Structure formats: C-alpha cells, structure tokens
Structure 1
Amino acid sequence: MCDALVWSFDVLTSIQWLELIKAVAPVATAIIAFLALRNWRRQDKAKREAEFLDSLIEATHDYVAEIPTPITLLEIARIGMASHASGESSDAAVFGAVTFIRQQGGDHAQRMLAALAATKSSMIKLRSLATKGQVFAFDDYANCMNAVAMLTWQYDRTEAFTALIGSSSLNWEHPEILRRLVDVMAIEPDEMRTCVRDNNIALIKFASDTYKLIYG
C-alpha cells in the first residue's frame, strides 16, 4: 500500500505540469470560445426572432386600426345601393346598385380611395413581414401566413368594390360587368369585420405562443 502511494507520488511529481498546461490551454480556450459563440448565436437568433414578432404585431395593430374605415364606407355604399332598389328581387337590387353608381358612385369612390390610401402602407408592411418571416421556420407559421392573407384580403375586396362603383360610365348591360357587380354586391361588411377580428386574434396567439418558445 505504501509502495503504491510512493509510486503514485513519483508519477505525479514526474509529470511536467507546466508543459502539460501549455499543451492543454489552447484546446480549453477553443472549447470555451466555441461554447461562447454557440451561446451568442442562440441569443442573437432569439433577439432577431423577437424583433420580427414585435414588428409583426405592430404592423397588424396599425392595419387593424385603419381597415375599418374603408369597410364602413363600403357598408355606406351598399346602403345607398339598397335605397335605390325598387323591390326585393335580385334584378331590383342590381338596378338599385347601378342607379347609385351612376348618381353617386364617383364621389363615394373618391372617399373610399382616400381611406384605402391611408391603409395601404400598413397592408404592404404586413404582407412583406409575413413573407420575410418564413426564414425563421417558426412552428405553425402557416397559421400566421393564412391569418395575414385573410386580413389583407379585406383590403383587396374593398379595392375591387371601389374600382367598380367609381366606373359610372361602364356598359351595365354587359354580362361580364353585371357578373362583377353582383360579386361585389355580395361582399358583407359584417363578415369582413368578423374576419378581421378572428384573424387578428389568430396572429396575436401565434406571436404569444412563439414568444414562449423563444424565451421558455
């Protein structure tokens, strides 16, 4: 037992510790640097993801605050169309719509165009962010993309409606023009508002869940 201890002590004292430390130090430094770099990359990725989510929520908030005005103007136009209808039939509804467009469509379209112009920037930003966000490969990002598509579709629908009611000189007896008129007449403002509300909630949920994954 004593001999073994003496042998062990001799071995330990014979090791050139300074040289060993010099040899091991670069390896240890490299490992520490690698771990530090990996941690920094993880933190940087989390920071960029959080910044993206912040921008997405801000753009969504701006758009959701602005799109109700064009929707309300669309609703007012539909009320104007209905007020000129001579009955409850579909033909009467189309007649009322054409009468409204010929008499007031141009002026009302100008108001709607102004409201859409005020909303366009937030709509473009929201679509752009949704496209850029694909690089992060978030879980369930398809839900986010779908919510943005549904939100901004309301802008497109209102824009199509505006273009038609602003074209008072069209040949309203042409079948294709009548078909387009019937299509825009079918747009329901309350359904649009519900769509905006539901998809705003969906985006907020996506952002909240993703924040938890980033910082959880």
Structure 2
Amino acid sequence: MLDFFTCLWSHINSWNWSGVTQSVTGIATLIIAWMALNSWRKQHKAQKVTGLFDELTDSIHELVQALGGPIQQLQFIRISIDSCKYDINLDKSLPHPEEICYIKKEGQESAARLNVQLKECAQPAHKIRSLLVKAQVYDIKSFENCSKYCECIVWQYDRLQVVYSILASDNLNWNHPKAIDFVDHLKNITPEDISAHLKENQIEYIKFVKGIYKKEFDSA
C-alpha cells in the first residue's frame, strides 16, 4: 500500500503544474466572462424592454389627453342631434331622422371642427401601433394582452374617425341600406362608451406594465 501512495505521489509530482494552473485559470476566466456577458445581455434586454414601455406609456397618455377634445366635441354633437327632434323640417319617414337632419344641416361644419382635433391624435395613435410591432421582437410573456389593451385604446380614435366620415357625408341616399348602417354606427358611438373603454383599458395596461417592470428588474 505504501508503494502505491509513493508511486501516486511521484506521478503527481511529475505533472506540469504550471500548465494545469494556466488551464484552470483559463477555464475560470471563460466562465466569469460568460457569466458577465449573460448578465450584460439580461441588463441590456431589460433596458430595451423598459425603454420601449416607457415610450408606449407616454404615447398612450398623449393619445388619451388628445382624445379629450374630440370626445367633448362628440358630446356637443349628441346634444345637437337630440335637439333635432324639435326641428320643423324633421323628416320622420327616414330611418334615423334626428341624425340625418343634423348631418344635412351641420354635418360638414361639425366634421371640419372634429377633424382639426383628430389630427392631434394621429401621431400618438400611429406611434402606439408602431411600438406594438417593435415589441414583438422581445418575446414578452402574455404580450397579446398588452396589445389588446393598447389596440382598444387606439380603436377609440378610429371610432371618432368614423364619426367624422359620417358627418362629412351629407349627400347620401339615406334610404339605402348601407347608408342606414352608416348612421347606425353614429348612434352606437357615444362619448360615455368611448370614455369607459379608455378608462378600463388604461387600468389593465398599467397593471401589465407594472408586472413587466418588476420582472425585468428582478431578472437583470
């Protein structure tokens, strides 16, 4: 047994310990470098993701603020439409007499005023949709929920664009089925409904973003 340990010790002493040390040091350096690179990548991704959501949040806030004017304008439009029931020239034979009366009398002017306000909403609305496309690169968990909230917010801008288009169309055949459907859209787009959609989806969006920030910073 003593001969075995003597032989083993002699064998170990014959090793090139300088080379072994260099190899171990090299491997350790590679491991440390890999860990540092991996940490940097996580931090870099976290910065990119949080930066993107910072932009998205700012754009949503900008759009919601800009929509305040068109929503208020829509309130005035609804009041004016309701007032048309007392108009002596109201044609009650039409499917939607009050709406059509308003469009014929004030549609063009009202559409022009609404369009001026909607132009201020265009840039943040387009920015939101652009950022939603960009965000798909990062493979964010449950991002489809965030996208749904954002799209619903932008949809309120689209709905107001529909109102503008209807108001500007004062020369339609109002008995035509498509024209009737057209006015149906106007009846269904109310300031209360738009405001409710904006509020609900902003709340859900903020919840989602808070979760993203926490996850990204915890993993960085």
TM normalised by structure 2 equals 0.86
Residue 193 of structure 1: aligned partner: 195
Q: Please report how far the alpha carbon of residue 182 of structure 1 lies from its aligned counterpart in structure 2 after TM superposition.
A: 2.1
Specify the SS of the correspondent of 1:84.
Answer: helix
Q: CA 1:93–1:170 in 2, change beyond 3 Å: closer, same or farther?
A: closer
Specify the SS of the correspondent of 2:37.
Answer: helix
Residue 144 of structure 1: aligned partner: 146
The residue type paired with residue 62 of structure 2 is D
Between the aligned partners of 1:91 and 1:28, the Cα distance in structure 2 is 88
2:98 to 87, 96, 99: 96
The residue type paired with residue 145 of structure 1 is S
Q: CA RMSD in A?
A: 2.5
Q: CA 1:140–1:19 in 2, change beyond 3 Å: closer, same or farther?
A: closer
Q: Please report how far the alpha carbon of residue 68 of structure 1 lies from its aligned counterpart in structure 2 after TM superposition.
A: 1.8
Q: Name structure 1 gaps, 5 residues minimum.
A: none
Between the aligned partners of 2:5 and 2:184, the Cα distance in structure 1 is 100
Q: Following superposition of structure 1 onto structure 2, how do residues 1-216 of structure 1 map, counting pairs within 5 Å?
A: 13-86=13-86, 94-216=96-218
Indicate conservation of the 8 Å contact 1:82/1:93, yes or no.
no
Q: Please report how far the alpha carbon of residue 9 of structure 1 lies from its aligned counterpart in structure 2 after TM superposition.
A: 6.8
Q: Please report how far the alpha carbon of residue 32 of structure 1 lies from its aligned counterpart in structure 2 after TM superposition.
A: 2.2
Indicate conservation of the 8 Å contact 1:86/1:92, yes or no.
no
Q: Name whichever of 27-36 and 42-51 sits farther off.
A: 27-36
Indicate conservation of the 8 Å contact 2:69/2:117, yes or no.
yes
The residue type paired with residue 153 of structure 1 is W
TM normalised by structure 1 equals 0.88
- Name the % identity: 29
Between the aligned partners of 1:205 and 1:46, the Cα distance in structure 2 is 18
The residue type paired with residue 26 of structure 2 is P
Specify the SS of the correspondent of 2:103.
Answer: helix
Q: Name whichever of 24-33 and 162-171 sits farther off.
A: 24-33
Between the aligned partners of 1:183 and 1:16, the Cα distance in structure 2 is 85
Indicate conservation of the 8 Å contact 2:74/2:190, yes or no.
no
Between the aligned partners of 2:47 and 2:28, the Cα distance in structure 1 is 28
Between the aligned partners of 2:12 and 2:64, the Cα distance in structure 1 is 73
